[in-house]
Amino acid sequence: MVSITQGCVDLQSFLRSKIIQCAEDSRGATAIVFAVVLPLLMLAAVGSIDTAIVYHQHSTLQDAADAGAIAAAQELQIADIDDSTIKAVAHNTIKAQLSEKVRELNVDLKVDQEAGTVEVRVDHRIMPPVISGVYGTKEERIYAQATARVTGTTRVCILALNESGAGAISLEKSARVTGNECAVFSNSVSENGLKAKGDVELIADLICSAGGYSGSKGYFDPEPTTDCPPFPDPLADRAEPNVGGCLEKKLKVSEDDSLSPGTYCGGLTISAGADINLSPGIYVINGGNLDVSGGLYGKGVGFYLTGGARFKFAKSSSIELYAPVDGPMAGLLFFEGRSSSGGKHQIRSDDARVLEGTIYLANSSLIVDAGNTVADESAYTAIITQSLKLFEGPHLVLNSNYDDTDIPAPEGISKVNRHVVLSK
């Protein structure tokens, strides 16, 4: 007879052996399952890596398409630009944004100049590096699309043509500029092409710099847009007036008088205390300066400055001038001859409230350092110059109320595109 104790020992041994056998069988099954599942897990992991790579490449391509569309739409601000030039700008911008490894880059462009939109569709061929290397996945193409549009229009009230210098437009001390419903453009690609320092303020509908700007953002309203395409000189093809024989030579007027149109050789000086009324017409200053310390008043008058002539309005002067309505100088208050270069014109007058028309000084600088408001009583004033510098405490007010005057605004400044935005 088997004892109860022996029976319990045999039963325990039996159960232990079965448990061990079950565990060994489970390990075997697990090993089989792991051997089957492991390659699938590895494949999924590799696929996830490739998905991330492709996603990154697509995101990069979309950013490039956005940049290309914006750059192309900005070109619409340039008059008479053709679609091929716009496409080249888009293509170069996109290519610059992408890696050199990009293959078979295609850029398709749809330009609607009337609507002010540019639609860009871009694609290139890729090969995910992990899957392609291990599993032989074929090459793929990725695509991106962006549309940029110009919103609204504005008018030009300041255009600085200097393409490289720092401070092509510069405000210092307590100078202020207010452009009412008009835009300010600096063509300088310098990182400091637009400069502001001191207690200054520049307000306009749009402030655009081909380069950058220096000074606190608080000096500007709105914040300047940088890297704008250079704005072409809208008067580059304007014919220069004829220069006739000398009406007067080195004329200096020291008492009240009236003057007639004609060529003033060697300059024209208006002394302090003398008030001069100008008859309508073109006043050619051939050499010397238009140097005004007294009063200068005239409607329908335009000054053509040649032979290195400059104008200087002293602090004591009183100025009230309206540009011609028609003729060679229609809309132009001042026209500097294109053979002149490197000079400085000055408005220091504390009483120059009316300067109605366009001041065109393509080769020289205009300095405004009056202590009072300038041009605020003009229906419109536009300034096109190599550079514009404001010192001391002037407040230059540039209106664009074309409907309030018969004086025409030259073509190219009365309507230009304004903001470029991405359409979603």
pLDDT tens-digit profile of 186-235? Answer: 999 999 999 999 999 999 988 999 999 999 999 999 999 888 878 889 99
- How many angstroms separate the CA atoms of 384 and 382, rounded? 7
Taking Cα atoms as reference points, which of 125, 126, 141, 137 lies closest to residue 46?
137
- How many angstroms separate the CA atoms of 302 and 333, rounded? 5
> Taking residues 118-130, what's their average pLDDT?
77
Which pLDDT does position 422 carry in this prediction? 77
> End-to-end distance of the chain based on CA atoms, in angstroms?
94
pLDDT surpasses 70 at 135: no
Taking Cα atoms as reference points, which of 291, 353, 287, 357 lies closest to residue 329?
357
Which pLDDT does position 84 carry in this prediction? 85
- How many angstroms separate the CA atoms of 253 and 397, rounded? 30
Which pLDDT does position 105 carry in this prediction? 84
pLDDT surpasses 70 at 424: no
More confident residue, 5 or 365: 365
Cα dihedral sign, 238-244-250-252:
negative
Q: Give residue 38's identity as a one-letter amino acid code.
A: L
More confident residue, 310 or 40: 310
Q: What are phi and psi of 49, to 5 degrees?
A: -65, -45
What's the chain's length in residues?
424
pLDDT surpasses 50 at 100: yes
Share of the chain above pLDDT 70, in %: 81
Residue that is written with structure tokens 């697509």 in the block: 58
DSSP-derived 3-state class of residue 3: coil
> Taking residues 392-407, what's their average pLDDT?
95
Which pLDDT does position 5 carry in this prediction? 45
> Taking residues 25-44, what's their average pLDDT?
53
What does the domain layout of the chain look like in residue ranges? 12-152, 156-419
Q: Give per-residue pLDDT as tens, 354-398.
A: 999 999 999 999 999 999 999 999 999 999 999 999 998 899 999
DSSP-derived 3-state class of residue 420: strand
pLDDT surpasses 80 at 257: yes
Q: Give residue 334's identity as a one-letter amino acid code.
A: F
Taking Cα atoms as reference points, which of 138, 218, 216, 220 lies closest to residue 186?
220
- Among 139-148, 165-174, 346-355, 403-412, whose mean pLDDT is lowest? 139-148
Which pLDDT does position 27 carry in this prediction? 54
Which pLDDT does position 50 carry in this prediction? 55
pLDDT surpasses 90 at 30: no
- How many angstroms separate the CA atoms of 145 and 119, rounded? 7
Q: What are phi and psi of 2, to 5 degrees?
A: -85, 135
- Token readout for 17 is 């052996």
Q: Give residue 236's identity as a one-letter amino acid code.
A: A
Output DSSP code: residue 380: B
Which pLDDT does position 2 carry in this prediction? 42
Q: Contact, 195 vs 215, CB < 8 A?
A: yes
- How many angstroms separate the CA atoms of 35 and 123, rounded? 41
